């Protein structure tokens, strides 16, 4: 029995971007047409799959282009670079290539306003010091706050945000909270090196001030203290789960311990 195109699109979307681009769409004319359907590209998983004979960055940009603004989730972990994410000047890529919207995340063309249901996951592992050279291209995971802030301003329906091993300024947190009122889950994770003795409640307080509707918060390796945690608990009444692993400045006792016991807590 012949399957309808929407069913084929759902099936083919499970194959993965590389398999669709390099295999499925070459099977027949019908499959090629279906593989160009934007619904196939709502989720793009292009993390480094090993030693493949393909230019994953070019393929990723092609996959993003095919999504036509319907992209919901993208992962280019371990290989994403400025060339992939469009951080280069628009003139270098051509006027048709979209401006960067999220670090290793989604793009919307200037003419697209289809942000319905956006829940973008930033899963790229960001290295602190890298250079954008051909030899080190696969490790170029830099991003500037100006572009990230611009992204938040264009994603009012953002629900979930993940940042791992990367820097996020207080201003970026403030903008994310103000411009993304639907944000329910925020994961902002660092290495958490105890020997560095870093103490700071700045970002914890920024989260508390600007993200009052959070339900899930993960701050692995954060430098916050009991004061910062207290502020988060006071300002985020809807919080259900809290992950404070490797937060070495936290010492739960008394009322703070009692309040945290009411949450799904990892520490």
DSSP tag of 90: H
Residue appearing with tokens 């009122």: 181
CA 68, 73, 79, 83 torsion: positive or negative?
positive
How confident is the model at residue 85, as a pLDDT? Answer: 42
How confident is the model at residue 137, as a pLDDT? Answer: 28
Q: Output the pTM of the full model.
A: 0.58
> pLDDT tens for residues 49-90?
555 666 777 777 778 778 776 776 776 655 544 444 443 322
Nearest Cα to Cα of residue 142 among 227, 226, 84: 84
Task: Answer yes or no: is pLDDT of 180 > 80.
Answer: yes
Contact predicate 214/183, CB 8 Å: yes
DSSP E strands: which ranges in 118-247?
160-164, 185-189, 216-218, 241-243
Tell how far CA 12 is from the center of its chain. 24
Task: Answer yes or no: is pLDDT of 239 > 70.
Answer: yes
CATH number of 44-266: 3.80.10
CA separation for the pair 149, 146 (Å, rounded): 5
CA separation for the pair 40, 14 (Å, rounded): 8
Least confident of 119-128, 154-163, 170-179, 206-215: 119-128
More confident residue, 45 or 176: 176
C-alpha count within 13 angstroms, C-beta hemisphere, residue 232: 29
Distances (CA, A) of 1 to 4, 8, 14: 10, 12, 21
Using pLDDT thresholds of 50, 70 and 90, give the confidence band for residue 260: very high
């Amino acid at each position: 029995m012949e399957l309808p195109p929407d069913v084929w699109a759902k099936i083919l979307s499970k194959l993965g971007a590389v398999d669709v681009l390099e295999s499925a769409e070459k099977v027949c004319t019908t499959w090629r047409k279906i593989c160009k359907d934007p619904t196939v590209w709502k989720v793009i998983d292009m993390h480094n799959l090993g030693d493949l004979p393909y230019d994953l960055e070019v393929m990723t940009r092609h996959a993003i282009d095919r999504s036509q603004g319907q992209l919901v989730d993208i992962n280019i972990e371990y290989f994403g670079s400025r060339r992939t994410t469009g951080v280069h000047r628009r003139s270098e890529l051509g006027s048709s290539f979209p401006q960067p919207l999220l670090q290793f995340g989604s793009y919307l063309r200037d003419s697209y306003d289809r942000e319905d249901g956006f829940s973008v996951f930033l899963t790229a592992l960001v290295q602190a010091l890298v250079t954008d050279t051909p030899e080190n291209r696969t490790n170029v995971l830099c991003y500037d706050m100006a572009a990230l802030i611009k992204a938040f301003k264009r994603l009012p329906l953002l629900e979930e945000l993940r940042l791992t091993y990367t820097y996020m300024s207080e201003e970026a947190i403030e903008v994310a909270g103000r411009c993304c009122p639907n944000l329910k889950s925020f994961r902002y994770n660092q290495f958490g090196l105890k020997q560095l003795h870093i103490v700071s409640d700045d970002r914890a307080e920024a989260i508390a001030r600007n993200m009052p509707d959070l339900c899930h918060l993960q701050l692995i390796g954060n430098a916050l203290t009991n004061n910062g945690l207290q502020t988060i608990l006071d300002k985020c009444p809807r919080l259900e789960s809290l992950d404070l692993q490797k937060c070495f400045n936290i010492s739960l006792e008394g009322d703070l311990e009692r309040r945290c016991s009411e949450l799904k807590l990892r520490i």
